[in-house]
Amino acid sequence: MSRIPPIPGQILTSPEQCHSLKSLVQELCQTRSKSFPGSQPVSFGWKSLQALEREDYWVCEKSDGVRCLLLILTNGTTNEQETYFIDRKNVYRRIRGLYFPNYKDSTLLTPANKTLIDGELVIDHDKKSGKDKLRYLVFDLLVLETEDIYNMRLGSRYGRLRSWVVEPFLKSLAKRGNPSQPLEIKLKVMDLAYAIDHVFKTHIPNLQHGNDGLIFTCVESGYVFGTDSRIIKWKDPSENSIDFRISLRFSASDDNTNTCDFAKKPLCELQQWEGGKLYNWFDNWDISEEEWQNFLKDGIDLHNKIAEFSWMKNEENWRFLRFRDDKNDANHSTVVEKVTESIEDGVEAHQLIRKSSRIRSEWKSRAQRRGIGMPVHSKSPPQSTAQPYKLNT
């Protein structure tokens, strides 16, 4: 199992600072609430193949890491750049040692401001050197210098991310150097949806971090805050997973029926979230004695923990994958229902590859009708109207 990276940075604890930043993000994204604005995919099923044939999609590997947004600001009080990671719990962490220049300044001296990036933290392991490297793989751009580009098509957003965020960042890093940089920034590789075979056989085997599937994203769609039906995550049916809350039920002690025997293996219930604070039973997890003893030895309290599980069809039991400490709640019952359908209606890798020729044919037909080829981003950068940000303290 791959290692899940810790999120670097100092957690903001000041209610005033947190409220100020959340309000700013809400304003930049024009969302109705101050909650985590990141988009969320739906699970892959046989109907998803029709979507890949009907519209242009890009595909990338689904990294086994931690999802975070990166907020880039210029503080109007100090005139210094500030960068913050925002996790799925909507916790803000101030991260130091990164510098993003404004894409319009060829000298790279003007700091970028009011920019919001989507990406994922991973730990890349170099087998030759035996060393680990923390990397932030960026794959989408929501706001650029206060410009709300989230309504643009993915091709335009990705082009701006590459040319006006990542490339200036790397040029500045090469010119200035930064020995204190806490992580590396890399642009996540995207392929056309019909290049599935290439992703499976060439790209994924060369990854230095864990992978648990594919992500398909519609090229023509804008960024959706919340669940997006045009972002589809594919996993091998045997690896399709659900995040449950674990609830333990202990049997009575042999010596005293009024007390519980906490050393004996309990009944492990898996609960789905119904919204708010309400949880309902979904199924039981037949935890093995060995697993239970290992958790006891490590001092891990499973009760009310959010954890990821996959269904083992042959054993008719759930397999524990990892704890989801990055989430406040388990999957909602509606998500559980859809993932369950995806498990039952799962598409195997070879079936997906077999469909790639049809996906390619339909893509080429659309391109000929439009008279265009690969999506390209605008060559002329938009004018920025970003004003310095002042942190409330």
User: Cα separation of 359 and 50, whole Å?
Assistant: 9
- From 272, 230, 266, select the one nearest 250 (Cα to Cα): 266
Catalytic residues: 62
Place of tokens 């039991």: 317
How distant, in Å, are the alpha carbons of 82, 157, 168, 383 from that of 101? 12, 18, 6, 15
Cα angle, residue 193 at apex, residues 187 and 197 outer, rounded to 5°: 95
Beta bridge partners of 125: 132
Provide the H-helix boundaries in 162-288: 167-176, 196-198
| Beta partners for residue 260, in sequence order | 252
Q: For the packed helices 356-370 and 46-54, what is the interaxial angle rounded to 10 degrees? A: 30
- Residue 155 tokens read as 């091709």
Nearest to 378 by CA among 152, 108, 91: 152
Running DSSP on this structure, what letter comes out for residue 163? Answer: I
CB 4 within 8 A of CB 65: yes
